[in-house]
């Protein structure tokens, strides 16, 4: 039940997995531009009409994530997300089954470092009722103490599963290595100690501080009336009193200090991870870095796959990834392989990076990367839910205008800009290296 950033839909990067609701509502050929409103109390509302869809997506985005937690609050944003499905002062436990799943809909939520969001897909006739429900859980959750204690077992088991999954745990540890003491280096799930000792008063204080009008964005996409949706937003979320809360800006992560670590883990195979700091989401270099990472290791035709797996047979699998967050970014290369190939695989990966730094990329490689990005963007926005997710994240952690213009920026990237990005961000000496190795026999 936790969420993911925009540049890469992988987000195994911190052990977060997006559980997406299924939707049959496809974007129609006649689609209006999204309309944006800011209510007097600070709530932002985005509405996009899709007349041809059979369902509606209703999402509530909150500017509160792992980065907003104090050292004693690690995991609270994620824990609170779980608790908001447990009932409110007017809705008893089980309202999800009755009000959403009972009418054929789906509801879930996601927590990331930068935000939390709640997403629903259901028949369009239930749009207004769903806005009322989301507004209710946003500020009226009962945070029942019995339910809070029961949920501790669920969340601690989630931590265990994440740690027992090598790829997810490797990615989370790489985040900690790259971001070091920055809040982005911490686990969204928190620690077992903090969760085990969590009290209702502590969670309520976090809830009251962050779940305020100034933090909310309501997104509705589907066959709806814009005026009807806006009126529903105004009489629910729009009636909440302005709190005066201002989210503290997050500092840009400091330069990465080169590190290398090997950890023994049960299993027959080794896992190699390499990490570099990358540009933040709204940086001018972001499109070039996205294409660079795609060319490097995001398809069967990519440099790393062809070299390390196909030609040299050093790895079972290899990929590169780039996660662009609001205040920073991280570029990673990860591989599954035999432990005896670790040193050779790392050298081979650096060789491919050096080739791009020194010789650049071909026009054909760039064309394929742009085509891949266009396809991913199309698939990501072909349903009402996918379109709502793109709009909500843009409004929450960067700017709607930037999201709408992003693909044009991507198409304008040149081979020279990709090479410059490789030289700027993929330093051959300054990176974090982490390997999981099987116990010695």
**Range 358-366, long-range pairs (CB < 8 A, 24+ positions):** 359/419, 360/415, 360/416, 360/418, 360/419, 361/292, 361/295, 361/415, 361/418, 361/419, 362/415, 363/415, 365/295, 366/291, 366/295, 366/413, 366/414, 366/415, 366/418
**CB proximity list for 140: less than 8 A, separation 6 or greater:** 88, 89, 90
**284's tokens:** 């001018």
Q: Which residue has the tokens 């299993």?
A: 267
Tens place of pLDDT per residue across the chain (441 aa):
433 333 333 333 333 333 233 333 444 445 678 999 999 999 999 999 999 899 999 999 999 999 999 999 999 999 999 999 999 999 998 888 888 999 999 999 999 999 999 999 999 999 999 999 999 999 999 999 999 999 999 999 999 999 999 999 999 999 999 999 899 999 999 999 999 999 999 999 999 999 999 999 999 999 999 999 999 999 999 999 999 998 888 888 888 889 999 999 999 999 999 999 999 999 999 999 999 999 999 999 999 999 999 999 999 999 999 999 999 999 999 999 999 999 999 999 999 999 999 999 999 999 999 999 999 999 988 999 999 999 999 999 999 999 999 999 999 999 999 999 999 999 999 999 999 999 987
DSSP for 25-38, please give it: -BPPSS-PPPEEEE
């Amino acid at each position: 039940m936790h969420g993911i950033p925009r540049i890469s839909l992988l987000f195994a990067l911190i052990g977060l997995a997006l559980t997406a609701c299924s939707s049959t509502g496809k974007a129609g050929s006649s689609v209006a531009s999204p309309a944006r409103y800011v209510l007097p109390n600070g709530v932002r509302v985005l509405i996009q009409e899709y007349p041809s869809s059979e369902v509606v997506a209703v999402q509530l985005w909150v500017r509160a994530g792992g980065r907003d937690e104090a050292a004693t609050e690690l995991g609270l944003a994620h824990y609170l997300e779980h608790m908001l499905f447990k009932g409110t002062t007017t809705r008893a436990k089980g309202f999800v089954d009755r009000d959403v799943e009972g009418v054929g809909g789906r509801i879930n939520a996601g927590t990331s470092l930068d935000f939390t969001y709640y997403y629903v897909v259901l028949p369009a006739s239930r749009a207004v009722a769903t806005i009322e429900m989301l507004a209710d859980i946003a500020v009226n959750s009962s945070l029942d103490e019995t339910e809070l204690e029961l949920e501790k077992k669920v969340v601690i088991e989630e931590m265990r599963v994440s740690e027992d999954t090598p790829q997810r745990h490797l990615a989370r540890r790489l985040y900690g290595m790259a971001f070091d003491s920055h809040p982005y280096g911490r686990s969204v799930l928190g620690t077992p100690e903090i969760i085990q000792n969590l009290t209702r008063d502590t969670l309520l204080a976090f809830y009251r501080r962050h779940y305020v009008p100034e933090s909310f964005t309501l997104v509705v996409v589907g066959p709806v009336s814009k005026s009807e949706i806006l009126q529903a937003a105004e009489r629910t979320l729009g009636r909440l009193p302005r709190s005066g809360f201002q989210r503290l800006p997050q500092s840009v992560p400091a330069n990465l200090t080169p590190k290398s670590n090997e950890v023994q883990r049960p299993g027959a195979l080794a896992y190699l991870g390499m990490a570099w700091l990358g540009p933040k989401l709204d940086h001018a270099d972001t499109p070039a870095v996205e294409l660079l990472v795609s060319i490097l290791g995001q398809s069967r035709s990519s440099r790393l796959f062809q070299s390390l797996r196909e030609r040299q047979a050093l790895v079972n699998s290899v990929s590169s990834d780039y996660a662009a967050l609001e205040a920073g970014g991280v570029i990673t290369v990860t591989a599954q392989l035999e432990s005896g190939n670790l040193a050779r695989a790392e050298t081979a990966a650096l060789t491919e990076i050096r080739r791009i730094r020194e010789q650049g990329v071909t026009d054909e490689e760039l064309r394929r990367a742009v085509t891949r990005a266009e396809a991913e963007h199309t698939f990501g926005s072909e349903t009402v839910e996918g379109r709502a997710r793109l709009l909500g994240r843009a409004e929450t952690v960067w700017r709607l205008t930037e999201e709408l213009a992003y693909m044009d920026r991507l198409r304008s990237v040149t081979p020279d800009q990709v090479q410059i990005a490789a030289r700027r961000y993929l330093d051959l000496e300054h990176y974090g290296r982490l390997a999981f190795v099987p116990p010695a026999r």
